[in-house]
Amino acid sequence: MELNENARVDTSQVDDRRGSGGGGGMGIPIPIGGGRGGIVGIVIAVLVALVGGGFGLNAATNGGGSEQGDNTSLEQKCSAQDALKQLDCRNALYVNSIQAYWRTAMPEAFGEQYRPSKTVFFSQNVSTACGAADSGVGPFYCPADDLVYIDLSFYKLLADQLGAEGEFAQPYVLAHEYGHHVQDLLGTEAQMRRQQQRDPQSANALSVKLELQADCYAGAWAKNATGTADDKGQKIFTSITEQDISQAIDTAEKIGDDAIQQRSGRPVNPDEFTHGSSDQRKQWFTKGFTTGDPKSCDTFGSGA
DSSP alpha helix (H) spans, the chain? 35-50, 54-57, 72-78, 87-110, 154-162, 169-186, 188-198, 203-224, 242-254, 257-263, 278-291
Closer Cβ to Zn ion, 39 or 203, answer by number: 203
Cβ closer to Zn ion: 86 or 195?
195
d(CA 217, CA 223): 10
Residue 183 Cβ, how far from Zn ion at the closest point, in Å? Answer: 9
CB of 173 to Zn ion, least distance (A): 9
Nearer to Zn ion, 80 or 190 (CB): 190
CB 25 within 8 A of CB 191: no
**Choices 46-54, 158-166, 219-227, 259-267 (CB under 5 A): range interacting with Zn ion:** 46-54
* Residues 187-226, interacting with Zn ion (CB under 5 A): 211, 214
Strand order in the sheet with 147-150: 14-16, 119-121, 147-150, 140-142
- Looking at the Cβ atoms of 77 and 118, the one nearer to Zn ion is 118
Q: How many binding residues for Zn ion (CB under 5 A)? A: 5
Tell me the β-bridge partners of 149: 120, 140
Torsion angle of alpha carbons 275, 51, 277, 97, nearest 10°?
Answer: 110
- Using CB under 5 A, which of the segments 19-27, 39-47, 48-56, 280-288 binds Zn ion? 48-56
Within 133-162, the residues that bind Zn ion by CB under 5 A are: none
Stretch that binds Zn ion, among 52-60, 160-168, 191-199, 253-261 (CB under 5 A): 52-60
Residue 52 engages Zn ion in binding (rule: CB under 5 A)? yes
Beta carbon nearer to Zn ion, 78 or 255 = 255
3-state secondary structure of 10: coil
- Three-state DSSP class for residue 15: strand
| DSSP states of 273-284 | -SS--HHHHHHH
User: In the complex with Zn ion, which residue's Cβ is closer, 53 or 256?
Assistant: 53
> Least separation, in Å, of the C-beta of 207 and Zn ion?
9
Interface positions with Zn ion (CB under 5 A): 51-53, 211, 214
